[in-house]
């Protein structure tokens, strides 16, 4: 059975040909906390990554030991700075030229005869190669027979030829 591409879902991929993907990394927080201590002020800096507990990475104190109070240095301020780094990943295949979706046709299982749609099939090798679905090793969700139907997925080239011949 040929599973056709829905013509109305064919669209040009804005990322066509690209091989680099920016993936947002874990949220990093740089926290500065200023507290009052006897004789002056303490500055603590913490770093947390993702959901980890903030780790204390630096401590500074501005303290007088002669019984007077030190001023808080003018450049010390409590703050939280959020940073989410972008990691650049390289993909093996360039991004396909077109994006599209396949239809989900109804058929009968060749083993038990039940009515199914393609998306109900269980499969361990439904795979995408070069923007096209490949792999037809499918299993009926009711009787668990392998190859309940022979599937052939229309390629984008076939779908576009079909559309151009209309
Ligand atoms: Zn079946």
Say how many Å lie between the CA of residue 103 and the centre of ligand 1. 20
Say how many Å lie between the CA of residue 145 and the centre of ligand 1. 6
Which pLDDT score, from 0 to 100, does residue 125 have? Answer: 56
Which pLDDT score, from 0 to 100, does residue 118 have? Answer: 86
What pLDDT digit, counting tens, does each position of 42-96 carry?
Answer: 999 999 999 889 999 999 999 999 999 999 999 999 999 999 999 999 988 899 9
DSSP class of residue 61? E
DSSP class of residue 124? S
Say how many Å lie between the CA of residue 149 and the centre of ligand 1. 9
Q: Scanning the structure block, which residue is given the tokens 């401590």? A: 59
Which pLDDT score, from 0 to 100, does residue 145 have? Answer: 85
What separation in angstroms does the CA of 2 have from each of 35, 92, 101, 115? 70, 28, 14, 17
Say how many Å lie between the CA of residue 122 and the centre of ligand 1. 11
């Amino acid at each position: 059975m040929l599973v056709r591409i829905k013509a109305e879902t064919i669209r040009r991929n804005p990322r066509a040909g690209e091989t680099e993907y920016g993936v947002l990394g874990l949220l990093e927080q740089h926290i500065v906390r200023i507290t009052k201590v006897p004789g002056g002020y303490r500055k603590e800096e913490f770093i947390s990554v993702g959901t980890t507990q903030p780790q204390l990475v630096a401590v500074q104190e501005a303290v007088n030991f002669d019984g007077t109070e030190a001023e808080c240095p003018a450049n010390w301020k409590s703050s939280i700075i959020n940073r989410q780094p972008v990691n650049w990943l390289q993909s093996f295949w360039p991004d396909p030229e077109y994006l599209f979706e396949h239809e989900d046709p109804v058929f009968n299982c060749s083993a038990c005869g039940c009515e199914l749609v393609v998306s109900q099939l269980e499969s361990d090798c439904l795979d995408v190669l070069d923007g096209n679905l490949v792999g037809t090793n499918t299993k009926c969700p009711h009787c668990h027979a392998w190859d309940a139907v022979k599937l052939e997925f229309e390629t984008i080239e076939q779908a576009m030829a079909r559309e151009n011949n209309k």
